[in-house]
Amino acid sequence: MKYETQKVALPFFMVAMALFALQIVFGLAAAAAYVWPHFMSEAMPFHITRTSHTNLLIVWLLIGFMGCTYYLMPEEAENEIYSPNLAYFQLALFAIAGAGALISYQFGIHEGRHYLEQPLWAKVVITVSFLMFLFNTSLTMLKGRRTAINMVLMLGLWLAAVFWLFAFYNPDNLALDKLWWWWIVHIWVEGVWELIMAALLGYLLIKMTGVDREVIEKWLYVIVGLALFSGLLGTGHHYYWIGTPAYWQPIGSIFSTLEVIPFFAMVVFAFYMFWKGSRNHPNKAAMLWTLGSAAVAFFGAGVWGFMHTLSWINYYTHGTQITAAHGHLAFYGAYVMLVLGVITYAMPQLRRVQPYNQVLNMWAFWIMTSAMWFMTFTLTFAGVVQTHLQRVLGMNFMQIQEQLELFYIMRFGTGIFVGIAALMFIYAVFAPAREQVPATSRPLTANE
Ligand code: HEM
Ligand code: HEM
Ligand SMILES: [Fe+2]
């Protein structure tokens, strides 16, 4: 760690990991309701559990992105964070808004739109906190060195804030409501968050492979261009059945198919840099998460996304378990794994120790990733059966759910393994270092 204020990232990572654990607890509770339909139905109905699960995911990922930004910005900008105190204050505000929303849900207080259920006051506090974060990090950058990495990162974060503003606009007309709703839900994960992903990936690759910055930067610009070109009009794949004009069927199908390309470019980018690189970085676990993220994002977003994105296929699969299968693997690969990768990379330096507990960390990687894959397969099979029985044969929705029980049991089982792996990960990065530093390993240089 070269700059003192990089340590600002630490509390962000801690809060993010606590909420990650909580997200999985709610996921397990929701999955239990699929197996035992009356599970906690009085104490916490399914829609509340589900809302808590998805909200926690988004909130901890955003806190994770902030932590990553505070960590890398001083190195990239060659400048200390403008105001560490503002960062801590802004984290506290964000956490209060998140916790407040979570508690409100338990009392049935919410705004009803998926992912945007936060009560209005919480939305306002989230906005204020995020603007403070943008102010703090942008100023750090503007007063220091501007690189492709910190500029693409800040562009992604600023655009995320701009599109978030649509959360405040909720027309009464349901078709219009959905139309604007996707401007956040889709354009975040398939547009502006991709810029954040590409920048973080680029940062990790520069640090760990030793490949020239110029090479990484060229890739970065290509990926950003591809992501925005395909992702914006790709929103059309959510405009098939909500009452929008028919031209969205070809536009959505074509542009969302093109969305696969930036994800493909990112996986090629990551593996190519890894093979080309000269540096043998001691943090093997961080490299594993980095490559894993690019690969799983390609499958989860690219392959599982393409599977149901053409309008004449989506006609059958819309809103089935296929969607849930894709949602899980895409979010996990693109964003969860990447944030875990940055944490794995940064923590030893924040704690000023050599990479440690690496073996445990890599076990967490393999168990968590295998379990998420297995969950994706069970949901995909469930979705295929569901699509056929419901949309082809026209069977009744609840009758079909009985047919799917085995898949739901298996999904619950894989969830337990994800939970165990998450605890292993948290232990690996935060607990005392156990490993002896091998005599052969050299100290990290300031650049790594
Ligand atoms: C990291 C990137 C991505 C993430 C995190 C993601 C996540 C999600 C989630 C959570 C949903 C469900 C939304 C809801 O109905 O509430 C969804 C829907 C969908 N996604 Fe993605 N996605 C990503 C990329 C892609 C890509 C690249 C494609 C196309 C190639 C795609 C195609 C679709 C389609 C067609 C739907 C609608 C499914 C339906 O009609 O039920 N996604 N995505
Ligand atoms: C880090 C890992 C995870 C991520 C990124 C994640 C993400 C998501 C997302 C995006 C949704 C909304 C899906 C949609 O609208 O189509 C969702 C719903 C859900 N998740 Fe997770 N989740 C994760 C882990 C888990 C775990 C471990 C379980 C437990 C088995 C779980 C169980 C559920 C359930 C039951 C739902 C509700 C699905 C429905 O409405 O039918 N998730 N999750
Ligand atoms: Fe989408």
Three-class HEC string of 190-222? HHHHHHHHHHHHHHHHHHHHCCCHHHHHHHHHH
Is any ligand 2 atom within 6 A of the Cβ of residue 343?
no
Q: What digits encode the pLDDT tens for the residues 140-198?
A: 999 999 999 999 999 999 999 999 999 999 999 999 999 999 999 999 999 999 999 99
> Long-range pairs for 2-7 at CB < 8 Å and ≥24 separation?
2/74, 2/75, 2/446, 2/447, 3/74, 3/75, 3/79, 3/80, 3/81, 4/80, 5/70, 5/74, 5/80, 5/81, 5/84, 6/70, 6/71, 6/74, 6/75, 6/81, 6/346, 6/349, 6/350, 7/350
Q: What is the pLDDT of residue 346?
A: 97
Give the HSE-up count for residue 237: Cα atoms under 13 Å, Cβ half-sphere. Answer: 29
Alpha-carbon radius of gyration of the chain: 21
Q: What is the pLDDT of residue 355?
A: 84
Q: Find where tokens 């000269």 sit.
A: 278
Calculate how far, in angstroms, residue 237's C-alpha sits from the geometric centre of ligand 3.
6
Q: What percent of the chain has pLDDT over 90?
A: 92
User: In testing the pocket of ligand 1, which one of 323, 331, 379, 386 has its CB within 8 Å of the most ligand atoms?
Assistant: 323
What angle do the packed helices 260-276 and 248-258 form, to 10 degrees? 0
Q: What digits encode the pLDDT tens for the residues 188-241?
A: 999 999 999 999 999 999 999 999 999 999 999 999 999 999 999 999 999 999
Q: What is the pLDDT of residue 444?
A: 60
What is d(CA 137, CA 83) in angstroms, rounded to the nearest whole number? 9
Q: How many other CB atoms sit within 10 Å of the CB of residue 299? A: 18
Q: How many other CB atoms sit within 10 Å of the CB of residue 440? A: 6
Calculate how far, in angstroms, residue 54's C-alpha sits from the geometric centre of ligand 3.
16
Q: How many other CB atoms sit within 10 Å of the CB of residue 238? A: 23
- For ligand 1, atom 21, which residue shows the shortest CA distance? 305
Is any ligand 2 atom within 6 A of the Cβ of residue 139?
no
The values of phi and psi at residue 357, to 5°, are: 45, 35
Is any ligand 1 atom within 6 A of the Cβ of residue 191?
no
- For ligand 1, atom 7, which residue shows the shortest CA distance? 327
Is any ligand 2 atom within 6 A of the Cβ of residue 50?
yes
Is any ligand 1 atom within 6 A of the Cβ of residue 116?
no
Calculate how far, in angstroms, residue 374's C-alpha sits from the geometric centre of ligand 1.
19
Ligand nearest to the backbone CA of 17: 2
Is any ligand 1 atom within 6 A of the Cβ of residue 411?
no
Q: Which residues contact 313 (CB under 8 A, 6 or more apart)?
A: 307
| Statement: 1-146 belongs to CATH 1.20.120 | yes
CB burial of 410-423 (b: ≥16 within 10 Å; e: otherwise) equals bbbebbebbbebbe
Q: How many other CB atoms sit within 10 Å of the CB of residue 242? A: 15
The values of phi and psi at residue 416, to 5°, are: -60, -40
Calculate how far, in angstroms, residue 182's C-alpha sits from the geometric centre of ligand 3.
8
Calculate how far, in angstroms, residue 415's C-alpha sits from the geometric centre of ligand 2.
9
What is d(CA 276, CA 28) in angstroms, rounded to the nearest whole number? 41
Give the HSE-up count for residue 129: Cα atoms under 13 Å, Cβ half-sphere. Answer: 22
Calculate how far, in angstroms, residue 323's C-alpha sits from the geometric centre of ligand 2.
11
Is any ligand 2 atom within 6 A of the Cβ of residue 29?
no
Calculate how far, in angstroms, residue 186's C-alpha sits from the geometric centre of ligand 3.
4
Is any ligand 1 atom within 6 A of the Cβ of residue 114?
yes
Q: Is 101 helix (H, G, I), strand (E, B) or coil?
A: helix
Q: What is the pLDDT of residue 434?
A: 63
Ligand nearest to the backbone CA of 236: 3
- For ligand 2, atom 42, which residue shows the shortest CA distance? 27
Q: Which residues contact 170 (CB under 8 A, 6 or more apart)?
A: 111, 113, 177, 180
Q: What digits encode the pLDDT tens for the residues 284-312?
A: 999 999 999 999 999 999 999 999 999 99
Q: What is the pLDDT of residue 440?
A: 46
Proportion of the chain in helix, strand, coil states, percent, rounded to 5: 80, 0, 20
What is d(CA 422, CA 336) in angstroms, rounded to the nearest whole number? 11
- For ligand 1, atom 34, which residue shows the shortest CA distance? 309
Answer yes or no: is pLDDT of 1 > 90: no
Closest Cα partner for 286 from 223, 352, 349? 349
What is d(CA 151, CA 195) in angstroms, rounded to the nearest whole number? 10
Calculate how far, in angstroms, residue 30's C-alpha sits from the geometric centre of ligand 2.
8
Is any ligand 1 atom within 6 A of the Cβ of residue 51?
no
Are the beta carbons of 116 and 51 closer than 8 angstroms? no
Answer yes or no: is pLDDT of 441 > 60: no
362 vs 444, more confident: 362
What is d(CA 162, CA 217) in angstroms, rounded to the nearest whole number? 25
Calculate how far, in angstroms, residue 282's C-alpha sits from the geometric centre of ligand 1.
36
What is d(CA 336, CA 330) in angstroms, rounded to the nearest whole number? 9
